[in-house]
Amino acid sequence: MAEPRFLPPSLRSHKRYIVFEIISDEPVVYNDLVNTIWNSTLNFLGELETSNVMLWSIQNLYDEKSQRGIIKCRHDFVENMRVILSLIQTVGETKVIIKVLGVTGTIKSARNKYLLSTDLRNFTEEKR
């Protein structure tokens, strides 16, 4: 039995990571958020285009305290995903606003730029 062949990196579709923040009165559960994003994507793009988006929500990078997370999609559907996220008004029974913080090409840069927030209120400059 022959093993399946994988596409070389030059033939794979480029992906982008969309970092978002949820503004709401109550905390949003991850599973409700994913279901809402999928339903909104299906309503906006239809089934065929939704399959082309290659949408993937990264569960271990969603922080329920800060309500920030990352979604992976193809590079040519980034603007569509930004619109879809902005159209979401409720997740479960909670009214929400989803704010896109930025778009990156790697998870590492998404973490460094947008997810690692440092508190600069107590920052003191070292004296030389």
Q: What is the pLDDT of residues 77-91, one digit of tens each?
A: 999 999 999 999 999
What's the confidence (pLDDT) of residue 125? 55
Radius of gyration over every alpha carbon of the chain, rounded to an integer in angstroms: 17
Residue 60 binned pLDDT confidence (cut-offs 50, 70, 90): very high
Q: Which CATH class is domain 15-114?
A: alpha beta
Are 57 and 18 spatial neighbours (Cβ–Cβ below 8 Å)? Answer: no
- E strands in 1-128: 15-24, 56-57, 68-74, 90-91, 94-104
The better pLDDT of the pair 52, 118 is held by 52
Which of 16, 20, 45 is CA-nearest to residue 30?
20
Spans of all domains in the chain: 15-114
Mean pLDDT of the 17-45 span: 96
Over 90: is that where the pLDDT of 12 sits? no
Residue 127 binned pLDDT confidence (cut-offs 50, 70, 90): very low
